[in-house]
Protein backbone atom coordinates (compact mmCIF):
# COMPACT_ATOMS: atom_id res chain seq x y z
CA UNK A 1 0.00 0.00 0.00
CA UNK A 2 1.39 3.42 -0.90
CA UNK A 3 1.12 6.52 1.28
CA UNK A 4 -1.76 8.05 -0.66
CA UNK A 5 -3.85 4.86 -0.41
CA UNK A 6 -3.10 4.58 3.31
CA UNK A 7 -4.24 8.16 3.92
CA UNK A 8 -7.42 7.61 1.90
CA UNK A 9 -8.15 4.34 3.70
CA UNK A 10 -7.62 5.95 7.09
CA UNK A 11 -9.93 8.81 6.16
CA UNK A 12 -12.58 6.39 4.90
CA UNK A 13 -12.53 4.38 8.13
CA UNK A 14 -12.69 7.52 10.25
CA UNK A 15 -15.51 8.96 8.13
CA UNK A 16 -17.43 5.69 8.52
CA UNK A 17 -17.07 5.78 12.29
CA UNK A 18 -18.01 9.45 12.59
CA UNK A 19 -20.95 9.15 10.20
CA UNK A 20 -22.34 6.29 12.27
CA UNK A 21 -21.77 8.26 15.49
CA UNK A 22 -23.77 11.11 14.00
CA UNK A 23 -26.51 8.68 12.98
CA UNK A 24 -26.67 7.41 16.57
CA UNK A 25 -27.16 10.99 17.80
CA UNK A 26 -29.99 11.47 15.31
CA UNK A 27 -31.49 8.14 16.45
CA UNK A 28 -31.37 9.17 20.13
CA UNK A 29 -33.03 12.46 19.26
CA UNK A 30 -35.86 10.46 17.72
CA UNK A 31 -35.10 11.84 14.27
CA UNK A 32 -34.26 8.69 12.32
CA UNK A 33 -37.14 6.51 11.19
CA UNK A 34 -35.47 3.24 12.11
CA UNK A 35 -32.54 1.86 14.05
CA UNK A 36 -28.80 2.19 13.37
CA UNK A 37 -26.71 -0.88 12.55
CA UNK A 38 -23.17 -0.01 13.53
CA UNK A 39 -19.98 -1.33 12.00
CA UNK A 40 -17.98 -0.12 15.01
CA UNK A 41 -14.73 -2.08 15.13
CA UNK A 42 -15.39 -3.56 11.69
CA UNK A 43 -14.54 -0.53 9.58
CA UNK A 44 -11.53 -2.28 8.03
CA UNK A 45 -13.60 -5.16 6.65
CA UNK A 46 -15.79 -2.70 4.74
CA UNK A 47 -13.29 -0.01 3.77
CA UNK A 48 -10.03 -1.88 3.12
CA UNK A 49 -11.83 -4.47 0.96
CA UNK A 50 -13.68 -1.90 -1.17
CA UNK A 51 -10.54 0.25 -1.42
CA UNK A 52 -8.72 -2.62 -3.18
CA UNK A 53 -11.22 -2.68 -6.05
CA UNK A 54 -10.91 -1.03 -9.45
CA UNK A 55 -13.23 1.76 -10.60
CA UNK A 56 -15.29 -0.59 -12.80
CA UNK A 57 -15.80 -3.29 -10.19
CA UNK A 58 -19.20 -3.70 -8.49
CA UNK A 59 -20.08 -4.09 -4.84
CA UNK A 60 -23.21 -5.45 -3.21
CA UNK A 61 -22.95 -4.35 0.46
CA UNK A 62 -24.93 -5.52 3.48
CA UNK A 63 -26.30 -3.21 6.17
CA UNK A 64 -23.05 -3.27 8.17
CA UNK A 65 -20.97 -2.17 5.16
CA UNK A 66 -21.71 1.54 5.05
CA UNK A 67 -17.94 2.09 4.84
CA UNK A 68 -17.76 0.34 1.47
CA UNK A 69 -20.43 2.69 0.13
CA UNK A 70 -18.52 5.76 1.38
CA UNK A 71 -15.37 4.42 -0.30
CA UNK A 72 -17.27 4.25 -3.60
CA UNK A 73 -18.59 7.78 -3.39
CA UNK A 74 -21.82 7.71 -1.37
CA UNK A 75 -21.98 10.89 0.71
CA UNK A 76 -22.93 11.42 4.37
CA UNK A 77 -25.64 13.82 3.15
CA UNK A 78 -27.28 11.06 1.11
CA UNK A 79 -26.99 8.72 4.08
CA UNK A 80 -28.60 11.21 6.47
CA UNK A 81 -31.41 12.03 4.01
CA UNK A 82 -32.03 8.33 3.68
CA UNK A 83 -32.13 7.60 7.43
CA UNK A 84 -34.33 10.65 7.99
CA UNK A 85 -36.70 9.52 5.21
CA UNK A 86 -36.60 12.79 3.29
CA UNK A 87 -37.93 13.43 -0.22
CA UNK A 88 -34.56 14.48 -1.59
CA UNK A 89 -32.79 11.31 -0.39
CA UNK A 90 -31.74 8.47 -2.67
CA UNK A 91 -35.01 6.54 -2.25
CA UNK A 92 -37.11 9.68 -1.69
CA UNK A 93 -38.23 8.49 1.74
CA UNK A 94 -39.31 5.02 0.62
CA UNK A 95 -36.69 3.31 2.76
CA UNK A 96 -34.85 4.45 5.85
CA UNK A 97 -31.40 2.97 6.09
CA UNK A 98 -28.56 2.14 3.70
CA UNK A 99 -30.65 0.18 1.21
CA UNK A 100 -29.77 2.39 -1.72
CA UNK A 101 -27.42 1.83 -4.60
CA UNK A 102 -25.93 3.75 -7.50
CA UNK A 103 -24.97 1.61 -10.46
CA UNK A 104 -22.79 4.42 -11.86
CA UNK A 105 -20.68 4.18 -8.69
CA UNK A 106 -20.60 0.41 -8.89
CA UNK A 107 -22.95 -0.05 -5.92
CA UNK A 108 -25.84 -2.47 -6.10
CA UNK A 109 -28.39 -1.61 -3.40
CA UNK A 110 -28.05 -3.72 -0.25
CA UNK A 111 -30.91 -6.08 0.55
CA UNK A 112 -32.03 -7.30 3.98
CA UNK A 113 -32.38 -10.97 3.11
CA UNK A 114 -29.23 -12.60 4.41
CA UNK A 115 -27.35 -14.44 1.67
CA UNK A 116 -29.57 -13.15 -1.15
CA UNK A 117 -26.80 -10.97 -2.54
CA UNK A 118 -24.44 -13.91 -3.06
CA UNK A 119 -26.32 -15.38 -6.06
CA UNK A 120 -27.10 -11.86 -7.29
CA UNK A 121 -23.43 -10.83 -7.23
CA UNK A 122 -22.46 -14.20 -8.74
CA UNK A 123 -24.79 -13.23 -11.59
CA UNK A 124 -23.08 -9.84 -11.87
CA UNK A 125 -19.72 -11.65 -12.03
CA UNK A 126 -21.10 -14.02 -14.67
CA UNK A 127 -22.14 -11.02 -16.80
CA UNK A 128 -18.59 -9.63 -16.56
CA UNK A 129 -17.16 -12.90 -17.79
CA UNK A 130 -19.70 -13.31 -20.57
CA UNK A 131 -18.84 -9.84 -21.87
CA UNK A 132 -15.10 -10.46 -21.56
CA UNK A 133 -14.72 -7.56 -19.10
CA UNK A 134 -11.87 -7.41 -16.58
CA UNK A 135 -14.06 -6.62 -13.59
CA UNK A 136 -14.85 -8.30 -10.31
CA UNK A 137 -17.91 -8.36 -8.06
CA UNK A 138 -17.65 -8.15 -4.27
CA UNK A 139 -20.19 -8.79 -1.56
CA UNK A 140 -20.22 -9.40 2.21
CA UNK A 141 -21.80 -11.96 4.51
CA UNK A 142 -21.95 -12.32 8.30
CA UNK A 143 -21.34 -15.59 10.10
CA UNK A 144 -25.10 -15.96 10.67
CA UNK A 145 -25.85 -15.19 7.03
CA UNK A 146 -23.41 -17.87 5.91
CA UNK A 147 -25.81 -20.54 7.20
CA UNK A 148 -28.50 -19.63 4.65
CA UNK A 149 -29.34 -21.64 1.57
CA UNK A 150 -28.77 -18.63 -0.68
CA UNK A 151 -25.18 -18.35 0.53
CA UNK A 152 -24.43 -21.98 -0.36
CA UNK A 153 -26.27 -21.78 -3.66
CA UNK A 154 -24.57 -18.58 -4.77
CA UNK A 155 -21.05 -19.53 -3.75
CA UNK A 156 -21.41 -23.03 -5.19
CA UNK A 157 -22.51 -21.52 -8.52
CA UNK A 158 -19.53 -19.14 -8.50
CA UNK A 159 -17.12 -22.01 -7.78
CA UNK A 160 -18.57 -24.26 -10.48
CA UNK A 161 -18.56 -21.40 -12.99
CA UNK A 162 -15.18 -20.03 -11.78
CA UNK A 163 -16.61 -16.52 -11.54
CA UNK A 164 -14.73 -13.34 -10.56
CA UNK A 165 -16.55 -12.97 -7.23
CA UNK A 166 -15.10 -12.00 -3.86
CA UNK A 167 -17.25 -12.92 -0.87
CA UNK A 168 -16.04 -11.18 2.28
CA UNK A 169 -16.99 -13.24 5.31
CA UNK A 170 -17.39 -11.10 8.42
CA UNK A 171 -16.79 -13.49 11.28
CA UNK A 172 -17.84 -11.07 14.03
CA UNK A 173 -18.93 -13.19 16.97
CA UNK A 174 -22.70 -12.88 16.99
CA UNK A 175 -25.73 -13.04 14.71
CA UNK A 176 -28.27 -10.92 16.58
CA UNK A 177 -27.83 -12.61 20.01
CA UNK A 178 -26.83 -16.03 18.63
CA UNK A 179 -23.19 -17.08 18.94
CA UNK A 180 -21.93 -18.87 15.79
CA UNK A 181 -21.61 -22.31 17.42
CA UNK A 182 -25.37 -22.34 18.10
CA UNK A 183 -26.10 -21.83 14.41
CA UNK A 184 -23.23 -23.10 12.28
CA UNK A 185 -21.06 -26.17 12.08
CA UNK A 186 -17.36 -25.35 12.21
CA UNK A 187 -15.44 -22.20 11.44
CA UNK A 188 -16.59 -19.79 8.76
CA UNK A 189 -13.69 -20.70 6.47
CA UNK A 190 -15.02 -24.29 6.42
CA UNK A 191 -18.02 -23.07 4.42
CA UNK A 192 -15.97 -22.11 1.36
CA UNK A 193 -17.26 -24.96 -0.85
CA UNK A 194 -13.98 -25.13 -2.72
CA UNK A 195 -13.55 -21.38 -3.29
CA UNK A 196 -10.00 -20.14 -2.78
CA UNK A 197 -10.11 -19.03 0.86
CA UNK A 198 -8.06 -16.48 2.75
CA UNK A 199 -8.49 -15.87 6.47
CA UNK A 200 -7.18 -12.58 7.83
CA UNK A 201 -7.21 -10.46 10.96
CA UNK A 202 -10.20 -8.30 10.03
CA UNK A 203 -9.10 -5.55 12.42
CA UNK A 204 -5.78 -5.09 10.64
CA UNK A 205 -6.65 -2.76 7.76
CA UNK A 206 -3.28 -3.23 6.03
CA UNK A 207 -3.69 -7.02 6.07
CA UNK A 208 -7.29 -6.83 4.85
CA UNK A 209 -6.23 -4.52 2.03
CA UNK A 210 -3.35 -6.78 0.95
CA UNK A 211 -5.59 -9.87 0.99
CA UNK A 212 -8.28 -8.02 -0.97
CA UNK A 213 -5.76 -7.06 -3.66
CA UNK A 214 -4.67 -10.70 -3.83
CA UNK A 215 -8.30 -11.83 -4.06
CA UNK A 216 -8.99 -9.40 -6.89
CA UNK A 217 -5.90 -10.56 -8.79
CA UNK A 218 -6.99 -14.19 -8.33
CA UNK A 219 -10.38 -13.32 -9.84
CA UNK A 220 -8.89 -11.35 -12.74
CA UNK A 221 -6.66 -14.30 -13.61
CA UNK A 222 -9.81 -16.38 -14.16
CA UNK A 223 -9.13 -18.65 -11.19
CA UNK A 224 -12.60 -18.36 -9.74
CA UNK A 225 -14.14 -16.86 -6.62
CA UNK A 226 -12.42 -15.98 -3.36
CA UNK A 227 -13.88 -16.35 0.11
CA UNK A 228 -12.09 -13.75 2.20
CA UNK A 229 -12.82 -14.46 5.85
CA UNK A 230 -12.16 -11.53 8.19
CA UNK A 231 -11.92 -12.37 11.89
CA UNK A 232 -13.43 -9.40 13.71
CA UNK A 233 -16.00 -8.56 16.38
CA UNK A 234 -19.31 -6.72 16.48
CA UNK A 235 -18.64 -4.08 19.14
CA UNK A 236 -22.25 -2.92 19.46
CA UNK A 237 -25.56 -4.73 19.64
CA UNK A 238 -27.24 -5.92 16.46
CA UNK A 239 -28.51 -2.33 16.22
CA UNK A 240 -28.95 0.62 18.56
CA UNK A 241 -32.09 -0.89 20.10
CA UNK A 242 -30.06 -3.90 21.32
CA UNK A 243 -27.93 -3.34 24.44
CA UNK A 244 -25.98 -6.60 23.81
CA UNK A 245 -26.33 -7.70 27.45
CA UNK A 246 -25.68 -11.26 26.21
CA UNK A 247 -22.05 -10.42 25.30
CA UNK A 248 -19.35 -11.02 27.90
CA UNK A 249 -17.83 -7.58 28.76
CA UNK A 250 -14.38 -9.23 28.94
CA UNK A 251 -14.73 -10.21 25.29
CA UNK A 252 -15.66 -6.66 24.36
CA UNK A 253 -12.64 -5.33 26.26
CA UNK A 254 -10.39 -7.82 24.48
CA UNK A 255 -11.61 -6.66 21.08
CA UNK A 256 -11.61 -2.96 22.03
CA UNK A 257 -7.85 -3.31 22.40
CA UNK A 258 -7.75 -4.45 18.75
CA UNK A 259 -9.72 -1.46 17.40
CA UNK A 260 -8.79 -1.19 13.71
CA UNK A 261 -8.48 2.61 13.65
CA UNK A 262 -5.72 3.15 16.25
CA UNK A 263 -4.02 0.01 14.96
CA UNK A 264 -3.91 1.39 11.44
CA UNK A 265 -2.74 4.77 12.75
CA UNK A 266 0.11 3.00 14.57
CA UNK A 267 0.97 1.07 11.38
CA UNK A 268 1.02 4.32 9.41
CA UNK A 269 3.13 6.10 11.99
CA UNK A 270 5.75 3.33 11.81
CA UNK A 271 6.03 4.26 8.14
CA UNK A 272 6.08 7.95 9.06
CA UNK A 273 2.80 8.49 7.21
CA UNK A 274 0.99 10.87 9.52
CA UNK A 275 -2.64 11.87 8.82
CA UNK A 276 -3.50 15.56 8.93
CA UNK A 277 -4.05 16.38 12.64
CA UNK A 278 -7.07 18.48 11.67
CA UNK A 279 -8.75 15.63 9.80
CA UNK A 280 -11.19 14.57 12.54
CA UNK A 281 -12.37 18.14 13.18
CA UNK A 282 -12.77 18.71 9.43
CA UNK A 283 -14.85 15.56 9.02
CA UNK A 284 -16.97 16.42 12.06
CA UNK A 285 -17.64 19.88 10.63
CA UNK A 286 -18.68 18.35 7.35
CA UNK A 287 -20.98 15.88 9.09
CA UNK A 288 -22.53 18.65 11.19
CA UNK A 289 -23.32 20.65 8.06
CA UNK A 290 -24.63 17.67 6.12
CA UNK A 291 -26.79 16.50 9.05
CA UNK A 292 -28.26 20.00 9.37
CA UNK A 293 -28.93 20.10 5.63
CA UNK A 294 -30.69 16.73 5.85
CA UNK A 295 -32.76 17.83 8.87
CA UNK A 296 -33.92 20.84 6.85
CA UNK A 297 -34.86 18.75 3.81
CA UNK A 298 -38.54 18.24 2.91
CA UNK A 299 -40.62 15.19 3.74
CA UNK A 300 -42.04 13.21 0.82
CA UNK A 301 -45.44 14.34 -0.44
CA UNK A 302 -48.00 11.70 0.66
CA UNK A 303 -49.65 12.02 -2.77
CA UNK A 304 -46.52 10.37 -4.26
CA UNK A 305 -46.68 7.42 -1.85
CA UNK A 306 -46.92 4.65 -4.43
CA UNK A 307 -44.47 6.18 -6.86
CA UNK A 308 -41.23 4.23 -7.18
CA UNK A 309 -42.61 1.39 -5.05
CA UNK A 310 -44.91 -0.58 -7.34
CA UNK A 311 -44.44 -0.95 -11.07
CA UNK A 312 -47.16 0.72 -13.10
Ligand X SMILES: Cc1ncc(C[n+]2csc(CCOP(=O)(O)OP(=O)(O)O)c2C)c(N)n1
Interface residue list for ligand X (CB under 6 A): 64, 112-114, 142-145, 148, 170, 172, 174-176, 234, 238
Active site residue 238: yes
**Which residue in 10, 17, 216, 238 is the catalytic one?**
238
Active site residue 234: yes
Question: Shortest Cβ distance from residue 233 to ligand X (Å)?
Answer: 10
**Which residue in 234, 263, 270, 272 is the catalytic one?**
234
Nearer to ligand X, 72 or 238 (CB): 238
Question: Shortest Cβ distance from residue 99 to ligand X (Å)?
Answer: 12
**Which residue in 182, 246, 282, 307 is the catalytic one?**
246
Nearer to ligand X, 40 or 81 (CB): 40
Within 13 Å and on the Cβ side, how many CA atoms surround 261? 17
Nearer to ligand X, 80 or 174 (CB): 174
Question: Shortest Cβ distance from residue 16 to ligand X (Å)?
Answer: 14
Nearer to ligand X, 65 or 193 (CB): 65
Nearer to ligand X, 143 or 259 (CB): 143
d(CA 13, CA 113): 26
Tell me the C-alpha to C-alpha distance, in Å, between residue 67 and each of 14, 31, 155. Answer: 9, 22, 23
Question: Shortest Cβ distance from residue 141 to ligand X (Å)?
Answer: 6
- Number of neighbours of residue 215 by Cβ within 10 angstroms: 27
Whole-angstrom Cα Rg for the chain: 19
Question: Shortest Cβ distance from residue 191 to ligand X (Å)?
Answer: 12
Q: Which residue number places its CB atom closest to ligand X?
A: 142
Catalytic positions are 234, 238, 246
Amino acid sequence: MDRDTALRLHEAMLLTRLTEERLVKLFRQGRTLGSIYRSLGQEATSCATAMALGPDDMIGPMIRNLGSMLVRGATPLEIFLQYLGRATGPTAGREHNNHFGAVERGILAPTSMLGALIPVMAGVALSFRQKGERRVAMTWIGDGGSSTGAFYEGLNFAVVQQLPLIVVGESNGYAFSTPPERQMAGRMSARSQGAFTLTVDGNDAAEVYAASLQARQHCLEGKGPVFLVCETFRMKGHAEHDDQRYVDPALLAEWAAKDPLPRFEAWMSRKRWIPDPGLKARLEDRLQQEAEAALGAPWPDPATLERGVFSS
